[in-house]
Every structure is written in C-alpha cells, then in structure tokens.
Amino acid sequence: MNKVAIITGGGSGLGQATSVRLAKEGVDIVVVDVSEKGGNETVEMVKALGVESIFIKADVSKHEEVKNYVDQTVERFGKIDYFFNNAGISGSGSYFLDSSIEEINQIVGINLLGALYGVRYVAEVMLKNGGGSIVNTASSAGVIGQDSVVTYSATKHGIVGITKSMVAEYGKNGLRVNAIAPGPTETPMVKAFYEANPEMKANATNGIPQKRLGTPDEVAELVTFLLTSKAEYINGETIRIDGGFTNTK
Ligand SMILES: NC(=O)c1ccc[n+]([C@@H]2O[C@H](COP(=O)([O-])OP(=O)(O)OC[C@H]3O[C@@H](n4cnc5c(N)ncnc54)[C@H](O)[C@@H]3O)[C@@H](O)[C@H]2O)c1
C-alpha cells in the first residue's frame, strides 16, 4: 500500500515541486489549495507519474475547511503518512506601521492559524494510526529578523514554535515534526513579490553567499528527505535552505 501525503499550497511553487518529488517515490498525493487551477494542474502532473491523487479545495485559514480536507483524505485513503503544511502568503512587503489591520489578520490567518489547524487535525489522524511525519514551512524570516516583513516573520517564528512544541508533546507517540526555513526561492510567490519590490530582489541576491536564489526542486528534495524514513531520527528541527544567507547574518 502506497504512503499518503497531504500537501497544502500544492497548486504552485514549493508545494507543487514537492508533490511531484514525492510522487516519484510512489507516494499518493492529496493536493490542497484555494486555487482550483493550480491544484488540478498538480494532480495531473503527479498522476502522470503513476500514483493516485485528488485535489481538495480549501482555504486553510478556515478551520472547518481544514477539518474537511483531513476528513476527505481519510475517507478516500484511510490514513495520512506525510503532511507538508506549506500554504502561505508573503504579504505586501510594506513597513509594519503602514500595514493595515486587515493585512495583518490575513497573513496571521493563513500562515499561522492555517498551519495550526492543519497540525491539529492531521496529527490526530496520524496518532490514531501509530504516528506520521509532518514538515511545516517556515522561512528565513522565521529564524532571523528582517525588515518589511514583521507580520510574516511573526507567523514564521510561530511555525518554528509549533514544530518544537509538537515534538515535546507527541514525539513519544511516533510523531515527527520538522520545519524548513527556505531563503528566497524562485516560486511564483517570490517572483510576484520581487516584481512589486524590485530593489529588494537585488538586496536579497547580494546578501546570499551563493549569489543566487534557491529553486523549488532543491526545497522539494529536502522536504522529501525530512518526511520519509530517511530522516527517522530528526525531530523538532528547523533546517535552513538558503545558500548560507541566515547563517552569515
Ligand atoms: N518562495 C520563497 O522564497 C519562500 C521562502 C520562504 C518561505 N516560503 C514559504 O513557502 C510556502 C509556499 O510558498 P511558495 O513560494 O511556493 O508560494 P506560491 O505562491 O508559489 O504557492 C503558494 C500556494 O499556496 C496557495 N494558498 C495561498 N493561500 C492559501 C490559503 N488560504 N489556503 C490554501 N492555499 C493557499 C496558493 O494558491 C499557492 O498555490 C509559503 O508558506 C511561503 O511563506 C517561500
């Protein structure tokens, strides 16, 4: 029986690349996204690799929609082995004191509450089945301070906290929870963000020792390693994948 993974934000960027990478390992993929177009595109890509896949439309900031994607997965596949808790938005990149309360609520709602709801419902299913493996998507902004991303940074530091504390509570029950902290990676989200803030792209590349952005495939490789049994004794960790960026700050 194939392993089963839920990937949120699976319709684009890191989620799409990881869906494809896991499918190459023979993992069945449940793609969760607000975007039907992106979600269905990923389903077609992974089905072409010979695994089963369904798309479930959900806004992860709505807890009842999170419960629904978990329930539907269990109904269809009977279990959840892997969870890539990844859906997120960057926000506008404006200075914090120029941010609207609406924007603050939106970023926290999707990036932090969405991730918490996901872990809440997915871990419940995993623990009933003896355990499972979760990777949460943090960010460079989750391990260092950066300007123009105060709310985003707050949510991503929160992701690191969820990761460590879930292990403190449930590591003994067979749950592994890790996080990734990518630096700027060439996904549609980042391209859109840098188009709106071109001076930040030049600054970002200059500040990276390897002088380039990361690629979604590089991140997908790390997530696949962490999710699968290859990383069986890694738990509560946040792994930076940023060309040396945050370690040289
Ligand atoms: N790309 C980077 O440089 C970078 C760096 C660090 C962290 N991240 C994080 O990686 C994750 C993925 O980002 P990406 O770069 O692949 O972006 P992306 O925009 O390419 O993909 C994000 C996906 O999430 C979906 N999504 C957005 N809001 C949603 C919601 N409320 N409910 C369900 N789905 C939703 C979008 O439709 C999209 O398909 C995010 O959490 C982001 O913060 C990205």
pLDDT for the residue numbered 70 = 99
Q: Domains of the chain: which residue ranges?
A: 4-241
Give the ligand 1 atom nearest the CA of 110.
Answer: 31
Cα of 9 from ligand 1 centre, angstroms: 6
Quick check: CB of 188 below 6 Å from ligand 1? Answer: yes
Return the bridge partners of 136, or none.
85, 179
pLDDT for the residue numbered 194 = 84
Cα of 138 from ligand 1 centre, angstroms: 11
- Within 13 Å, how many C-alpha atoms sit on residue 88's CB side? 29
Quick check: CB of 38 below 6 Å from ligand 1? Answer: yes
Return the bridge partners of 85, or none.
136
Name every residue whose Cβ is closer than 8 Å to that of residue 85 and which is 6 or more positions away in sequence: 8, 115, 118, 119, 122, 134, 135, 136, 137
Q: Whose CA is nearest to atom 25 of ligand 1?
A: 9
Quick check: CB of 243 below 6 Å from ligand 1? Answer: no
pLDDT for the residue numbered 99 = 97
Quick check: CB of 14 below 6 Å from ligand 1? Answer: yes
Cα–Cα distance measured from residue 134 to residue 109, given in angstroms and rounded to the nearest whole number: 20
Quick check: CB of 91 below 6 Å from ligand 1? Answer: no
Quick check: CB of 73 below 6 Å from ligand 1? Answer: no
Give the ligand 1 atom nearest the CA of 38.
Answer: 39
Give the ligand 1 atom nearest the CA of 89.
Answer: 43
Cα of 189 from ligand 1 centre, angstroms: 6
Per-residue pLDDT of the chain (249 residues), as tens digits, is: 999 999 999 999 999 999 999 999 999 999 999 999 999 999 999 999 999 999 999 999 999 999 999 999 999 999 999 999 999 999 998 999 999 999 999 999 999 999 999 999 999 999 999 999 999 999 999 999 999 999 999 999 999 999 999 999 999 999 999 999 999 999 987 888 788 888 888 888 999 999 999 999 999 999 999 999 999 999 999 999 999 999 998
Q: Whose CA is nearest to atom 6 of ligand 1?
A: 139
Cα of 116 from ligand 1 centre, angstroms: 16
CATH code: domain 4-241 is 3.40.50.720
